[in-house]
């Protein structure tokens, strides 16, 4: 399994984004080419690179330009389908054995897309407010980790329809988040730990509900019920 840290290594540029679906081997895919700059050094086809937080596989490398074949599911569920030639993108190579983990474990599996609601500037940082679907909010925890466009961040607070994060000067300078404006869309990946906890809690609640439906007064009186 390929994982990332959410620490952006380079801001690259889209060399080509082709919205026409084409046949690649036995599957259909969209073409995305990105100038990945210094990240091309030592990179081989088959390696994984997170582009704005979406894990993609290098299909071909020509100099510093990497070609990715993006499957329709990824194209549709992320902001990749809206990329245009020349647009900057966050880039990170997958974690290798011995690399430091300065952010948090990021899988590169985008959960959904959010929208920048507003940006408050002041006090040496920006506060970014993001609106997202209720299903995603169930996995967003105050003071917990979240990845926006592949950038590891800490949630400040959560509201009825979104959440906020703080962007320090280093993040603003070294990622695309400093270029975001109200109305822009962002790839969101929630914390893997929050997803695991919610899944286990949901499974436990479902099991408890099924067990409760099978309880009768006769069973309770007989002492044969075990929760």
Q: Which helix (H) or strand (E) holds 66?
A: strand 65-70
**pLDDT (mean) for 29-37:** 97
- Who contacts 9 (Cβ-Cβ below 8 Å, separation ≥6)? 39, 91, 92, 93
Does 122 lie in the same domain as 87?
no
State how far the Cα of 43 lies from the Cα of 30, in Å rounded to an integer: 21
Q: Are residues 62 and 123 in the same domain?
A: no
> What domain range includes position 176?
112-199
Confidence of residue 167 (pLDDT cuts 50, 70, 90): very high
Residue 35 lies in a domain: yes
What percent of the chain shows pLDDT beyond 90? 69
Check which CATH number belongs to the domain holding 138 and give it: 2.40.30.20
User: Which carries the bigger pLDDT value, residue 13 or residue 221?
Assistant: 13
Give the range among 78-82, 172-176, 190-194 with minimum mean pLDDT: 190-194
Query: Can you tell me the mean pLDDT for 156-182?
Result: 95
Question: Same domain, yes or no, for 57 and 89?
Answer: yes
pLDDT tens digits, residue range 97-111? 666 667 788 999 999
pLDDT at 37: 98
Same domain, 37 and 69: yes
Q: Please indicate, yes or no, whether residues 33 and 69 belong to a single structural domain of this protein.
A: yes
Q: What confidence score (pLDDT) does residue 220 get?
A: 47
Examine the fold and report which residue of 93, 127, 162 is the final residue of a domain before the chain moves on: 93
In this prediction, residue 225 carries a pLDDT of 45
- Considering the entire predicted model, what is its pTM? 0.85
Nearest to 136 by CA among 191, 180, 76: 191
Residue 207 has pLDDT above 70, yes or no: no
Instruction: Indicate if 19 and 67 belong to the same structural domain.
Output: yes
Residue 134 lies in a domain: yes
**Count of domains for the chain:** 2
d(CA 126, CA 131): 16
Same domain, 82 and 126: no
């Amino acid at each position: 399994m390929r994982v990332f840290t959410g620490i952006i290594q380079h801001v690259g540029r889209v060399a080509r984004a082709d919205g026409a679906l084409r046949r690649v081997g036995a599957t259909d895919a969209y073409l995305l080419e990105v100038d990945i700059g210094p990240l091309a050094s030592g990179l081989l086809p088959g390696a994984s690179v997170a582009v704005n937080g979406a894990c993609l596989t290098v299909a071909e490398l020509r100099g510093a330009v990497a070609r990715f074949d993006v499957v329709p599911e990824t194209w549709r569920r992320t902001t990749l389908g809206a990329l245009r030639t020349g647009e900057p993108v966050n880039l990170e190579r997958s974690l290798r054995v011995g690399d430091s983990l300065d952010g948090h474990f990021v899988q590169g599996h985008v959960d959904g897309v959010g929208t920048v609601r507003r940006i408050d500037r002041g006090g040496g940082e920006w506060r970014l407010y993001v609106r997202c679907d209720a299903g995603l909010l169930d996995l967003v925890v105050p003071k917990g980790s979240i990845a926006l466009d592949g950038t590891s961040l800490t949630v400040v607070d959560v509201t009825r329809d979104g959440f906020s994060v703080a962007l320090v000067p280093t993040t603003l300078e070294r990622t695309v988040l400093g270029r975001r404006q109200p109305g822009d869309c962002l790839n969101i990946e929630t914390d893997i730990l929050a997803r695991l906890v919610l899944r286990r809690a949901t499974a436990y609640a479902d099991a408890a509900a099924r067990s409760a439906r099978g309880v009768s007064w006769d069973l309770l009186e007989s002492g044969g019920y075990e929760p």
